[in-house]
Amino acid sequence: MFFFALGCGEKVPRTGAYVAVGIVIAFLLGLGAGFLFGRGGVTTVTVPTTVTHTVERTVTFTPPILQQYTSPQPTAPTTATQAQLLQNITLKVAMSTDIRALDIHFAMGVADFEVLGKVYEALFKIAWDGSKLAYVPGLVKSYSQLNETAWLFILRNNVVFHNGKKLTAEDVKYSLLRSIRLSGIGKQLLTDAAGNPIITDIVIANETAFILKLSAPFTPLFENLAHLSTAIMPKEIALKYWDGPITSIEDVIGTGPFRLVSYEKGAKVVLQRFDGYWGNRPNVKTLEYLIMPDASARMSAVISGVVDVAVGISPDMVEALRSQGIEVYRAPGVRLVLVAINCKRVLDVRIRQALNYAVNKEDVVKEFMRGYAEIATSVASPTFPNVVSLKPYTYNVTKARQLLEEAGFVGKKLTLLTSTRSPKDIQLAQVIQQYLKNVGIEVEIVQMEHTAFLKRVFTDHDFDLAIYGPSPSSLYYALTYWRTGASLNGPEYSNPEYDKLLDEIATEPSEVKRVELYRKAQEILWRDAPAIWLYFEDILIAARPGIKGLQVLPFQMLIVDNVYV
């Protein structure tokens, strides 16, 4: 039967196949060698390591009683001269994650604030001078305190939305109400411990003036109103999407320097300069975000010049990028990477402290993060005002073992949850596993798809240990994560003394006393250790050398206001 003469019935020796494999390997090795050694005379590029904010003088202030404030100089451009100077740059940025939704009130991740933060503005904004963050008026021109629980705000009168409509107090009212109603973060920011809204009424005085009436004195009001989750949108849009997220790109209308032109889910977001912007208009005319989850694809894109900027650069890539002539910008980050410890399961504070002593943070930061991180010395980034430096949990295996023994926690097993979204987190999980093994704790790593991870940690609280990294916008907000029953309190930490301190901070009028209360709250949380406090990740951004004037905020937000080529 010759019907079965299948396969390649040929006489060619199959050694050819191995030659083929050899070629593949040689190719790969060649690539590597070429990449590493193939450049004669590597020139070291001097790279800006810190970014200075030069546009606007930042005014660090705290709201004293009955203080009055008027913004120093209207920054509105004298249009004729500026128009001539404007460049029309197209800036392409490679991002690692897509935006979650088109609605700023549902913004949560870094990408959301990066993109939508250019489209929307809040009443206040966060300024950065290279070492400290400050909260300064944004859409608000001036404000004054009427009594303990009432504030009068006057809006800038030259602000227009992308649809051409002038910003009015009505818009502010409905935006804030919508934020409190729908936005997870908005609710967190503007409700008190019992879940009652802090803003009890918004009284409209005239077109650009309104009064916020509060249920009680609330000192972090301005820093919370600076969070983009309380951003302002037109009244009609707020009412149209009163019950759910914005679902049409035509309805993404803010007051920011850029407007959204097109969005292709998972692939691309295009912003365009809004020429009616009230402030200084940037040189960037078109801002294009390409979504590239693959780290080596992002590197390729920035090296080959397909994009101008790439975010989400891991510390290991910095050297390789620099040797290719790409500039790497670095800014301290506010993202605190931690291993949350479920306080309902690990009740004994000694065990939680032991876990902190068991991890060698110096080594993790120096080697694993290549020094592109700062060891946590408090529960929020030192870039925030009022953050103090606390006594670190120095690596001490003996002490950790001793504490565990005292607590009777020997030979136990714990599960460590990580999200598969971040490869770095999975690596970190294995490092933690190793350290905990050294003090006699078996750790089983469970990887989960990101949404399932969020549900398990923050809704079901079904975990022993979990790796994540919150990025708060202020110290107060960072502290509220750990309030009893707070929605971001995945580990279910609860300490009545701590909760009481937070309430006192919110109502304490004296700044001196408040600083002291802030210090106390940080100390308690640090001591109670509902997490292994690890480090603050630096923000690393790669940019083509031709791009000048790029700035980076500690929230991993790019500031393109002063970009030129």
Partner 1 sequence: MRRLWINIVKGFLNLLLVFLITTAVIYFLARLFPGDTITVLYGEVNSLQDGRRILEAKLGLDIPLYIQLISFWQKILVGDWGISIFAGKPVFDLVFQRYVNSLMLSFTATLTTTAVCILLAYLSFTRRCRRLTTLVASISTSIPAALWGVMLMVALVLAKVSIPFGSIIMPLITLTIAGVGVFYTILKSLIDEALSEPFMAFYRAMGLTKSRLFLKALRYALPMYITAVLYRMGLIIAGAVATETIFNYPGMGKLLIDAFASRDYPVLLGWAVIISLTLAALNITGDVMQDILDPRVRELM
Partner 2 sequence: MKNLALGASILIILAELLLALLADLIAPYSYEAIDLGNRLSPPSPRHPLGTDPLGRDVFSRLIYAMRITFIIAIPSVLIAALMGAAVGALAAAAKGFTDFVLSRIFDVMYAIPSFFIAIAVLLAMGSSVTGIIIAISISLAPMFFRLGKSIARETLTKPYVEAAKAIGASPIWIAFNYVGRQLLATLTPTAVYMLSTAIALEATFGIIGLSVSPPTPSLGNMISEYKEYIFVAPWLAVAPITVIAVTITTLNTLANELSKRVAVFEK
Residues found near partner 2 in the complex (CB under 8 A): 1-9, 11, 13-15, 17-18, 20-21, 24-25, 28-29, 31-33, 35-36, 294-296, 299-300, 303, 314, 316-317, 319-320, 363-364, 367-368, 420, 423, 426-427, 429-431, 433-434, 444-449, 452
Tell whether residue 12 is a contact of partner 1 (CB under 8 A): yes
Per-residue HEC secondary structure of 452-477 comes to HHHHHHHHCCCCCEEEECCCCCCHHH
Identify the three-state secondary structure at position 198.
coil
Closest CA to 150 of 212, 63, 239: 212
Integer CA distances (angstroms), 501 to 192, 217, 407, in order: 13, 15, 28
Which of residues 315 and 472 has its CB atom nearest to partner 2 in the complex? 315
At how many degrees (to 10) do helices 349-358 and 423-438 cross?
A: 110
Contact 208, 155 (CB under 8 A): yes
CB under 5 to 8 A by kind: which of partner 2, partner 1, none does 317 bind?
A: partner 2
Structure tokens at 190: 């503007």
Dihedral angle computed from the Cα positions of residues 506, 509, 515 and 517, in that order, rounded to the nearest 10 degrees? -50
| Residue 148 main-chain phi, psi, to 5 deg | -55, -35
Tell whether residue 336 is a contact of partner 1 (CB under 8 A): no
Which of residues 7 and 40 has its CB atom nearest to partner 2 in the complex? 7
Pairing between strand 140-147 and 68-70?
antiparallel
Which of residues 169 and 199 has its CB atom nearest to partner 1 in the complex? 199
Tell whether residue 194 is a contact of partner 1 (CB under 8 A): no
Binding residue for partner 1, selected from 128, 135, 151, 263, defined by CB under 8 A: 263
Tell whether residue 445 is a contact of partner 1 (CB under 8 A): no
- End-to-end CA, the chain: 74
Tell whether residue 304 is a contact of partner 1 (CB under 8 A): yes
Which of residues 271 and 439 has its CB atom nearest to partner 1 in the complex? 271
Residue 430: CB minimum distance to partner 2, A: 5
- 149: amino acid identity, one letter: T
Stretch that binds partner 1, among 123-131, 199-207, 266-274, 278-286 (CB under 8 A): 266-274
Identify the three-state secondary structure at position 300.
helix
Strands of the 199-206 sheet, one edge to the other: 68-70, 140-147, 150-155, 209-214, 199-206
Which of residues 29 and 239 has its CB atom nearest to partner 2 in the complex? 29
Number of H helices, E strands in the chain: 17, 22
Stretch that binds partner 1, among 124-132, 180-188, 328-336, 362-370 (CB under 8 A): 180-188
Query: In the range 385-444, which residues lie near partner 1 by CB under 8 A?
Result: none
Which of residues 156 and 298 has its CB atom nearest to partner 2 in the complex? 298
Those residues whose C-beta lies under 8 Å from the C-beta of residue 503, and which sit 6 or more positions away, are 192, 193
Residue 460: CB minimum distance to partner 2, A: 16
Residue 328: CB minimum distance to partner 1, A: 17
Residue 314: CB minimum distance to partner 2, A: 8
Size (the chain), residues: 565
Query: In the range 86-115, which residues lie near partner 1 by CB under 8 A?
Result: 98, 100-102, 106, 108-109
Closest CA to 448 of 415, 404, 486, 399: 415
- 304: amino acid identity, one letter: S
Closest CA to 430 of 420, 419, 416: 416
The b-or-e profile of 286-308 (16+ CB within 10 A means b, else e) is: ebbbbbbeebeebbebbbeeebb
Which of residues 299 and 351 has its CB atom nearest to partner 1 in the complex? 299
Q: Kindly determine how many residues on this chain lie close enough to bind partner 1 according to the rule CB under 8 A.
A: 79
Integer CA distances (angstroms), 420 to 88, 426, 444, in order: 39, 7, 15
Which of residues 393 and 482 has its CB atom nearest to partner 1 in the complex? 482
Residue 10: CB minimum distance to partner 1, A: 6
Residue 212: CB minimum distance to partner 2, A: 45
Structure tokens at 178: 């919508």
CB under 5 to 8 A by kind: which of partner 1, partner 2, none does 188 bind?
A: partner 1
Residue 453: CB minimum distance to partner 1, A: 8
Residue 489: CB minimum distance to partner 2, A: 24
DSSP 371: T
Binding residue for partner 1, selected from 450, 500, 527, 548, defined by CB under 8 A: 450
Which of residues 149 and 433 has its CB atom nearest to partner 2 in the complex? 433
CB under 5 to 8 A by kind: which of partner 1, partner 2, none does 447 bind?
A: partner 2
Tell whether residue 37 is a contact of partner 1 (CB under 8 A): no
Which of residues 210 and 368 has its CB atom nearest to partner 2 in the complex? 368
Which of residues 95 and 365 has its CB atom nearest to partner 1 in the complex? 95
Tell whether residue 59 is a contact of partner 1 (CB under 8 A): no
Which of residues 130 and 184 has its CB atom nearest to partner 1 in the complex? 184
Those residues whose C-beta lies under 8 Å from the C-beta of residue 464, and which sit 6 or more positions away, are 341, 342, 345, 346, 414, 415, 416
Tell whether residue 184 is a contact of partner 1 (CB under 8 A): yes
Identify the three-state secondary structure at position 420.
coil
For residue 95, the cross-strand partners are: 291
Query: In the range 483-522, which residues lie near partner 1 by CB under 8 A?
Result: 487-488, 490
Identify the three-state secondary structure at position 405.
helix
CB under 5 to 8 A by kind: which of partner 2, partner 1, none does 206 bind?
A: none
Task: State the binding string over 451-480 for partner 1 (x if CB under 8 A, else -).
Answer: xx-xxx-xx--------x-x----------
